[in-house]
Structure 1
Amino acid sequence: MPVTVSSQYLRVNNIDIYYEEYASANSKETIVLLHGFLSSSFSFRKLGQLLSNHFHVISVDLPPFGKSGKSTKFHYSYKNIATTVLQLLQQLKIYEYYLVGHSMGGQIVLNMILQRPNQIKKAVLLSSSGYMKRLKTSYILLSYIPLFDKYIKHHLNKTGVLGNLHQVVYDKKMIDDVMINGYAEPFLDNRIFKSLCKMIRNREGDLSSEQLQTISTPCLLIWGEFDKIVPIKVGKRLVNDLQNAQLVIFKNIGHLVPEETPMRTYDEIKKFILPI
């Protein structure tokens, strides 16, 4: 039976944050879901339902994505986005929790651990971004050109949502109208393209090996065998840099792990967080 999902907004760190809360009478433990680049909480709609069997689930739209704010006054660094999620949870009076981050969301998870290690019990990284450097100065300078946001929109429209989905899933037959419309919806708001210009300037790059090696929080890494966006070699490097990590590889799965195989992902998370 589907669980009731409520849509919420909260003003945090001078920006509006949209999040979804899955009703659960079974647990006081909270698990927080953070999506990837160019995505939203929509990508967790299946996994969130499953996790709500055991957890109080909160799925956050990271600014400027999804239904969260797209202010060009916000600083879109990973560090500041992580701070914003931490402040959101503090305002919700949630002080201890588990984290799940997909792709870019994995980097936000790792940044949150660096800032508040004592609040995060365990973390799950799904095809997490890793070791990406800050963009070259030439690209950052281009983002200041007037109407550069129009170029970003044009560039993303060249492949379109369907083209992007073909890159991130292994089994193309699973792509349907629900997926296409769900991943397209956030980009109907043209403000996101100006915010992406700002993100080009603000994004500081992924955490270094030295920073990762200071993290002792237990981490489960889940990867798709055929991930074209963040290849398995990144997961293997991460599992070596993190002090307390394990890696699980799913066969015949691409980058969009929570969408492609929610049940297997749920089973691994449950086994990791709630061992028998």
Structure 2
Amino acid sequence: MIYVTIVFLLMVFAIGGQIQRDIPLEKLTGPFSDEDSKFFLWNGVQIHYKDEGKGEPIVLLHGSSSSLHTWDGLTKMLKSDFRIVRVDLIGFGLTGPNPKQDYSLEMYMDFINSFADHLGLPSFTIVGNSWGGMLAWNFAAQNPQRISSMVLINSAGLKMKTVPTRFKLVKTSMGRWILKNTMSKWMVKKGIKEVYHQPSKIDSELVERYQSLTLREGNRKAFVDIVLARKLPDINKLLKINVPTLILWGRYDLLYPLKQARRFKELLAKSQLKIIENTGHVPMEEAPLACGREIKTFIKSLQ
């Protein structure tokens, strides 16, 4: 028992993880919301989202451990031509955890449907990165009448080549304790380095944002619950999707290598693949202009 305790303490020390308390929502609302922020109540969860611009509607879904701020650069480029809606998905950002502790795929599908109803969108372009991409293509498969086109950016849904450190920690009780009770800047920066190809683009403001929103009360436990509830979806659903699809992929993604992008292209009947150079798993953060140009060209070509 003493040996196990020593190993446990060494693990906490090794990851730079002094115990940190949750940050109350009211302390984060000011720094991470603005005049474009909106809120609506869905099944007991206060949803935070932003609705900007006019034109064809585009709904953006972020990846796990992220927030709607992952789309800041892309939104700036696209909102002059399109209506851009981005949301802190349940379990993340200012939205925070589900009091019912339901993080099933079905719950997220119901939420996206209700969110589109709330926005008054009979149909829209759905865009998702990573885990948000997996939600996007599952939604398109289940609700084809609502999706006019789709953009998948380094989408999840196929088996990872490299499992992020945080996902590995979920597998053990010690790891889960660490994830629920620590989140140092060192840990956050390490996580960002796993998804960025260009370390020079990781600045203190980026690290601060990711850390603060992860420490939002309830979000660390929600992350653990989400990973535990996660299952690889049925990729045969991709064969049912018949909407025009743009696949954007950061060339140097360590989690989902380029061959997975090509696999998505094989499975999606009306898809095209564009590679974003010098980027990793989140190309819309590292190269928002390049991603924005591809998305704008794609959607305009369908009009």
**TM-score range relative to shorter protein:** 0.7 to 0.9
Deviation of residue 156 (structure 1)?
5.8
User: Which of 71, 74, 77 is equivalent to 1:47?
Assistant: 74
2:46 to 1, 7, 16: 16
Looking at structure 2, the residues matched to 80 and 204 of structure 1 have their Cα atoms a distance apart, in angstroms, of: 14
SS at match of 2:144: coil
Matches within 5 A, 1:34-183: 34-132=61-159, 149-153=176-180, 157=184, 160-183=187-210
How far apart, in 2, do the equivalents of 1:158 and 1:182 lie? 10
Q: Which residue identity is paired with 1:235?
A: A
Separation (CA, whole Å) in 2 of partners of 1:165 and 1:81: 25
* Cα RMSD (Å): 2.5
Moved more, 79-88 or 149-158: 149-158
Distance 1:210 1:186 in 2: 35
Q: Is the partner of 1:254 in helix, strand or coil?
A: coil
How many aligned positions are there?
262
Shift of 1:93: 1.4
Deviations 1:121-171 (A, max 9, x none): 0010111112249xxxxx9xx8896x9753323676595111112111111
Separation of aligned partners in 1, 2:202 and 2:96: 28
Pick aligned residue for 1:252 from 273, 278, 281:
278
Query: Structure 1 stretches of 5 or more lacking a match?
Result: 134-138
* Structure 1 contact 148–197 (Cα < 8 Å) conserved: no
Distance 2:291 2:300 in 1: 14
Q: Is the 8 A contact 2:44 2:99 kept in 1?
A: no
* Percent identity over paired residues: 28
* Secondary structure, aligned partner of 2:262: helix
| Equivalent residue number for residue 272 of structure 1 | 298
Are the counterparts in 2 of residues 127 and 230 from structure 1 also a CA contact under 8 Å? yes
Greater Cα radius of gyration, structure 1 or 2: 2
TM-score scaled by length of structure 2: 0.79
Q: Mark the runs of 5 or more structure 2 residues left unpaired by the alignment.
A: 1-33, 161-166
| Distance in 2, Cα, partners of 1:181 & 1:76 | 26
**1:232 corresponds to:** 258
Partner of 1:6: 36
Instruction: Please list the CA deviations of residues 9-51 of structure 1 after superposition, one character each: whole Å capped at 9, or x if unmatched.
Output: 11123322111122x2xx3321111111100011101101111
User: Secondary structure, in 3 states, of the residue corresponding to 2:36?
Assistant: strand
State the one-letter code of the partner of 1:254: G
CA distance in 1, matches of 2:286, 2:245: 21
Q: CA deviation at 1:114?
A: 1.9
Distance, in Å, in 2 between the alignment partners of 1:195 and 1:11 is 18
Q: Quick check: which one's helix share is greater?
A: 2
Secondary structure of 1:274's aligned partner: helix
> Residue 204 of structure 2 aligns to which amino acid in structure 1?
D
Cα pair 1:143 1:197 within 8 Å, conserved: no
Q: Which residue does 1:136 correspond to in 2?
A: none
Per the alignment, do residues 273 and 202 of structure 1 end up closer, same or farther by CA in structure 2, a change over 3 Å counting?
Answer: same
Matched-pair contact (CA < 8 Å) for 2:96–2:218? no
Output the TM-score relative to the length of structure 1. Answer: 0.86
* Cα shift at 1:235: 0.8
Output the CA distance in 2 between the equivalents of 1:179 and 1:211: 35
**Matched residue SS, 1:252:** coil
Q: 1:144 to 1:166 in 2, by over 3 A?
A: closer
CA shift, 1:89, in A, is 1.5
Contact 1:35 1:105 in 2 (8 A): yes
Question: Once the two structures are superposed, what CA deviation does each residue of 1:234-272 show, in whole Å capped at 9, x if it has no partner?
Answer: 111111011111111122211111111001101100111
**Mapped contact 2:250–2:283 kept (Cα < 8 A):** yes
Structure 2 residue aligned with 1:192: 219
Counterpart of 1:234 in 2: which secondary structure?
helix
Judged with a 3 Å threshold, the aligned counterparts in structure 2 of structure 1 residues 191 and 78 are, in CA distance, closer, same or farther, namely same
